[in-house]
Amino acid sequence: EAFIRFPLSVICATGATMTSISDTHDVSWLTDDTIYRLMTFFANGLALFTAASLYAESIGLAKARKWGLMAVGGGIAAAFAVIPDHFTSAQLFFGFAVSLTMLFAPYIGRKSSEESLWQFNYLNGVALAIAGISTFVRCAGLSAVIGSMNYLFPILDVPGRLYGDIWIFGAFFFGPVAFMYQIPRQFDYLAMDCDMPKGISFIANFLVVPLVLIYTFILYVYSAKIVALWELPKGNLAYLVTGFGAAGVAARLAVFPMRHTGTILLQQFYKYFPYLLLVPLALLSLGIYTRISQYGVTEERYAIALALVWLAG
């Protein structure tokens, strides 16, 4: 069923599995550079083809246009895998961005509600968790079975690489396909559909939001220290602030259905979190400007500057 709905994505998962297993078995015709480029293409292709399929499905795109869109996606994935003469963090950033497109691909170019976007991604989150648990149980169980057989019947002499093959198959094929199988076919939902289980509601109300606010308090205290002592922020602060911003935005998205019904703390967090970002972002601006003016632009500083612009927006 996953192959019928996402054929090119499943092919990419198959290719990544075969390439990785070939590498662990030291297949001579694959150089390290070839393996890297193939894995880059398969990883980005899987995400791009899945996102393109979801977009085409949501707007009822004709088959010819759908496959044209797939060809464009495949060309982009191939370009990022083949053209660079060496590995750069830009390829990591591209892969991360491509993965994020699956979150909103079905909603590009069509009117829909915030509830629909949230519920679609909530169900995908549940599907990802189930796929992950299923993959772990399958791989751990098979490894235990083979290990027991090898212990009880030494004559079998099971090679150690077989364990690696099991986990590679699970991570690169079984897990992704199990996830794709569970991706919802429905894209529009009502507000009443956005209902979180009590366990997740408890985690959001009493763990996630308080922890984000505690971290916010720490950053504000550190900001006051910077101003009082008139000293430059530490270099690693950039990663702390961007991590905090990303975690805060993710938490705010996660608690969306409870923005009116959660605890007072959660409601206030949802309402005022963008304003709480202002001081940490000012601190980040000072830090990244100072480092760039002193030492120049690197890929990491460029990425942090992009994160700063996005969080400020």
With H, G, I as helix, E, B as strand and everything else as coil, classify residue 145: helix
CA distance linking residue 204 with residue 147, whole number of Å: 40
* Terminal Cα-to-Cα distance of the chain (whole angstroms): 40
Reported residue count of the chain is 313
**262 Cβ contact partners less than 8 Å away, ≥ 6 residues apart:** 201, 204, 205, 209, 255, 270
**pLDDT (average), residues 138-158:** 88
Q: pLDDT at position 180, please?
A: 97
pLDDT of residue 76: 93
Is the pLDDT higher at 97 or at 86? Answer: 97
* Amino acid (one-letter) located at 59: I
Residue 27 has pLDDT above 80, yes or no: no
Where residue 28 falls among pLDDT bands split at 50, 70, 90?
low
Task: Supply φ then ψ for residue 146, to 5 degrees.
Answer: -65, -40
Q: Identify the weakest region by mean pLDDT among 158-162, 268-272, 308-312.
A: 158-162
pLDDT of 85 reads 85
Phi/psi for 112 (5° steps) reads: -160, 165
Q: Range with the lowest mean pLDDT among 1-10, 84-93, 102-111?
A: 84-93
pLDDT value at residue 235? 66
pLDDT digits (tens, 9 = 90+) for 116-134: 999 999 999 999 999 999 9
Is the pLDDT at 11 greater than 80? The verdict is yes
Given a contact cutoff of 8 angstroms between Cβ atoms, the answer to whether 91 and 84 are in contact is yes
CB 294 within 8 A of CB 244: no
Is 41's pLDDT higher than 90? yes
User: Got the DSSP string for 151-167?
Assistant: HH-GGG---THHHHHHH
Are 50 and 9 in contact by the 8 Å Cβ rule? The answer is yes
Who contacts 41 (Cβ-Cβ below 8 Å, separation ≥6)? Answer: 12, 77, 78, 80, 81, 82
Q: What are the pLDDT digits (tens) for 215-238? A: 999 989 988 888 888 877 766 788
